C-alpha cells in the first residue's frame, strides 16, 4: 500500500471543491447544533430538484428513494450483524427501492425476508471478497494501465479496472497477489481518475503552499473545525477563509494510502454550522451521518459545478491516482470537475463523505469518488455538527438496555471458556459507533470483548468488565468484527445484545 505524500505543485493548485457554509467545522459522534437550519425547507426542496434533474425522477419518486435509502441503511446494518460470516453484501436494485441482501447460507434467507428485503444466495461472503481485495491492496500495483479495484456485491466478485490493452496486466497482478481466477473479473475503462485540483479562484478556503496559495473547499463542519480531502494540505499547513482572514490549521491529513481525508482545526473567529452551501442561495441541512447503501441516490455540492446527483455504484474501492493508490473510496456516477474536491456529499440530510477525485466532467459525464465521512470521524475522533432530527448512533447509556439492541444472541459457557458471536463467526460493520451489553446467570462473572480483524488476525479493540450487566461502546472504522464472551468465573447462560452503525 503506497503512502507517498502528495507534493502540492507550485503556487496555485488545490482541490477546491464542494462547499459547506464558510463558517463550518465538525464531526464523529453526532452533536446537534443550536443554530437554526437556515432555509431548511428550501434547501431540501433544492436537493430533491437536483435529484429530479440528474436522475430523471418525479418529485414523489425522489422523496421515496431518499426514504427507502434511510430504511435500507438500518436494515443492512442489522442483517450484516445477524447473518455474520454468511453476509454477502447488500444493495438497492436499479429501481432504487428494492433492497437485495446476499447470503451464503440458505438458512439465512428467512432473516432477510423477515426484514423486508429480498435474499440472494451467493457463493462468496462479503468478507471473502474484501480479503481478496486487500491482497491486491498489499501487492505491488505499479503496473501501467490499472486504475483501481473494488468489491461488486451485486455480481459477488472482485472487479479490477484496467484501461484498454491492460487486461493482461490486471490478471498478472491478481495471480501475483494470490487471488483465485473465479473470484474476480476484469473490466476495461478509458477513465483516468485524478484528484480534482483547481487553479481558478472560487469560494472556500486557502492554504499556504511553498510561498504561494492553494484553494480548497470545506466538506462538513465538525466540533472545532471541518473535514475535507487529505490532498488539500499536509499537517501543520495554515488556512485562511473566504474573506482572507486567518482560519485554522490542518491537524490531520492522509493521502495517498488508506484514505483521502483531512481535518482543519479553526480558531475562535469561526463557528461550525450544520449546513451545506448548494450555490443556489440555499443552505442544505445536515441532520446526521447514516451511511447510504450501494444503489442509493446521492448528491454532492461543489464550488465549480454546484449541486449534482447520481447513484452510489460501489464502496471500499481502491483508486490508483498519479500520486499513488488510495483505498476505501466510494464510487459514484455523479459528475465533478476541478474545484469540486473536498466538498460534501449528502443522501437526503445525511452526511456521506467528501470529494476525492474522478474522471470526466459535467458536460460529457464521468465518475467521481468520495472519502466516506464516518471513516474520518472514527479515525480522528471527531464529532459531526448536525441540525438535529437525524439518525444518530445509539447513545452510550443505551447500551445497558440489552433488549433495545438490534441483534440478540444467547449461549452457555463453562468456567474459563469463551464463545465468539454471532454464531461463532464475525460480521461487517460500517464506520461509527457500536454498542453492546451482556447479561449472565447469577453467580457468574462473564466479560465482553470486541475484536476487529486485521492482517495479523483478530485484535481486541474494546472490553467490558466489572459487576452485573456489562455494557460496551466503541467508535471505530469500518471492518470485520466479532464479540467474544469470556467466562471469567462460574458457568451458565448469557444473553448478548449489540447494534452496529
pLDDT in tens, 400-453: 458 889 899 999 999 889 999 998 889 989 899 999 999 999 989 999 999 999
C-alpha cell at 226: 471541518
pLDDT in tens, 396-411: 333 345 888 989 999 9
Q: How far is CA 351 from the centre of its chain?
A: 10
**Would you state the pLDDT for residue 18?**
31
**Would you state the pLDDT for residue 185?**
96
Active site (catalytic) residues: 231, 260, 341
Residue 246 pLDDT grade (very low, low, confident, very high; cuts 50, 70, 90): confident
- Per-chain mean pLDDT for the chain: 84
Note the CATH number of domain 396-499. 2.60.120.380
Confidence (pTM)? 0.79
What mean pLDDT do residues 181-188 have?
A: 94
pLDDT at 201 over 50: no
Looking only at the bridges linking them, the beta strands covering 30-32 and 384-386 are parallel
Cβ within 8 Å of residue 107, ≥6 positions away? none
**Would you state the pLDDT for residue 200?**
26
pLDDT at 65 over 90: yes
pLDDT at 164 over 90: yes
pLDDT at 349 over 90: yes
Cα pseudo-dihedral 206, 281, 288, 384, rounded to 10: 20
Cβ within 8 Å of residue 483, ≥6 positions away? 420, 421, 422, 436, 448, 449, 450, 451, 496, 498
What does residue 128 show for φ and ψ, rounded to 5 degrees?
-60, -45
**Would you state the pLDDT for residue 42?**
56
pLDDT at 13 over 50: no
Lowest mean pLDDT among 92-106, 208-222, 226-240, 433-447: 208-222
**What percent of the chain has a predicted confidence (pLDDT) above 90?**
60
Looking only at the bridges linking them, the beta strands covering 238-240 and 246-254 are antiparallel
Distance of alpha carbon 381 from alpha carbon 411, whole angstroms: 34
Range among 208-212, 465-469, 494-498 with highest mean pLDDT value? 494-498
Residue 457 pLDDT grade (very low, low, confident, very high; cuts 50, 70, 90): confident
What mean pLDDT do residues 260-272 have?
A: 91
- Other residues' Cβ atoms within 10 Å of the Cβ of residue 466: 9
Cβ within 8 Å of residue 110, ≥6 positions away? none
DSSP classification of residue 393: P
Lowest mean pLDDT among 16-20, 159-163, 171-175, 302-306: 16-20
**Would you state the pLDDT for residue 45?**
83
* Residues 264 and 225 sit within 8 Å (Cβ to Cβ): yes
Lowest mean pLDDT among 257-271, 347-361, 388-402: 388-402
What mean pLDDT do residues 73-93 have?
A: 92
Which residue in the block uniquely carries the three cell numbers 472504522?
Answer: 477
What mean pLDDT do residues 214-243 have?
A: 89
pLDDT at 207 over 90: no
What does residue 193 show for φ and ψ, rounded to 5 degrees?
-60, 145
C-alpha cell at 22: 464558510
Residue 141 pLDDT grade (very low, low, confident, very high; cuts 50, 70, 90): low
Lowest mean pLDDT among 322-326, 387-391, 439-443: 387-391
pLDDT at 3 over 90: no
Lowest mean pLDDT among 135-144, 285-294, 414-423: 135-144
More confident position, 329 or 77: 329
Lowest mean pLDDT among 27-36, 117-126, 239-248: 27-36
Residue 390 pLDDT grade (very low, low, confident, very high; cuts 50, 70, 90): very low
Amino acid at each position: 500500500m503506497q503512502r507517498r505524500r502528495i507534493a502540492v505543485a507550485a503556487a496555485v493548485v488545490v482541490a477546491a471543491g464542494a462547499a459547506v457554509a464558510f463558517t463550518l467545522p465538525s464531526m464523529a459522534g453526532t452533536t446537534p447544533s443550536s443554530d437554526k437550519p437556515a432555509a431548511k425547507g428550501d434547501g431540501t426542496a433544492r436537493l430533491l430538484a437536483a435529484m429530479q434533474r440528474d436522475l430523471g425522477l418525479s418529485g414523489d419518486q425522489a422523496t421515496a428513494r431518499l426514504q427507502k435509502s434511510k430504511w435500507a441503511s438500518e436494515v443492512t446494518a442489522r442483517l450484516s450483524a445477524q447473518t455474520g460470516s454468511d453476509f454477502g453484501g447488500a444493495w438497492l436494485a436499479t429501481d432504487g427501492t428494492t433492497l437485495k441482501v446476499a447470503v451464503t447460507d440458505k438458512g439465512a434467507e428467512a432473516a432477510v425476508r423477515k426484514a423486508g428485503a429480498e435474499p440472494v444466495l451467493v457463493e462468496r461472503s462479503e468478507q471473502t471478497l474484501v480479503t481478496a481485495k486487500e491482497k491486491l491492496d498489499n501487492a505491488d500495483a505499479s503496473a501501467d494501465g490499472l486504475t483501481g479495484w473494488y468489491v461488486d456485491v451485486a455480481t459477488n466478485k472482485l472487479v479490477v479496472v484496467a484501461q484498454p490493452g491492460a487486461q493482461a496486466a490486471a490478471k498478472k497482478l491478481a495471480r501475483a497477489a494470490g487471488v483465485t481466477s473465479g473470484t474476480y473479473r476484469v473490466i476495461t475503462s478509458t477513465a483516468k481518475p485524478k484528484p480534482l485540483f483547481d487553479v481558478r479562484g472560487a469560494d472556500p478556503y486557502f492554504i499556504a503552499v511553498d510561498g504561494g496559495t492553494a484553494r480548497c473547499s470545506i466538506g462538513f463542519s465538525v466540533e472545532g473545525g471541518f473535514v475535507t480531502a487529505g490532498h488539500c494540505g499536509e499537517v501543520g499547513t495554515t488556512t485562511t477563509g473566504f474573506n482572507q482572514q486567518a482560519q485554522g490549521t490542518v491537524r490531520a491529513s492522509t493521502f495517498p494510502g488508506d484514505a483521502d481525508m483531512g481535518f482543519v482545526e479553526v480558531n475562535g473567529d469561526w463557528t461550525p454550522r450544520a449546513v451545506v452551501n448548494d450555490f443556489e442561495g440555499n443552505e442544505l441541512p445536515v441532520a446526521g451521518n447514516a451511511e447510504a447503501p450501494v444503489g442509493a441516490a446521492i448528491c454532492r455540492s461543489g464550488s465549480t459545478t454546484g449541486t449534482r446527483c447520481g447513484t452510489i455504484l460501489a464502496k471500499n474501492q481502491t483508486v490508483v491516482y498519479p500520486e499513488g493508490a488510495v483505498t476505501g473510496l466510494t464510487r459514484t456516477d455523479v459528475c465533478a470537475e476541478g474545484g469540486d474536491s473536498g466538498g460534501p456529499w449528502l443522501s437526503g440530510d445525511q452526511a456521506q463523505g467528501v470529494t476525492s477525485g474522478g474522471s470526466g466532467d459535467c458536460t460529457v459525464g464521468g465518475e467521481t469518488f468520495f472519502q466516506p465521512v464516518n471513516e474520518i470521524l472514527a479515525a480522528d475522533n471527531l464529532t459531526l455538527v448536525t441540525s438535529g432530527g437525524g439518525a444518530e448512533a445509539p447513545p452510550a447509556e443505551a447500551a445497558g438496555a440489552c433488549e433495545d439492541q438490534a441483534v440478540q444472541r444467547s449461549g452457555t459457557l463453562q468456567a474459563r471458556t469463551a464463545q465468539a458471536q454471532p454464531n461463532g463467526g464475525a460480521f461487517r460493520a460500517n464506520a461509527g459507533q457500536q454498542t453492546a451489553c451482556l447479561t449472565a446467570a447469577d453467580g457468574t462473572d462473564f466479560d465482553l470483548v470486541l475484536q476487529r480483524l486485521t492482517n495479523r488476525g483478530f485484535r481486541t479493540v474494546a472490553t467490558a468488565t466489572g459487576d452485573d450487566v456489562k455494557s460496551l461502546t466503541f467508535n471505530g472504522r469500518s471492518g470485520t468484527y466479532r464479540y467474544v464472551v469470556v467466562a471469567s468465573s462460574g458457568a451458565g447462560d448469557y444473553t448478548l445484545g449489540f447494534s452496529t452503525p
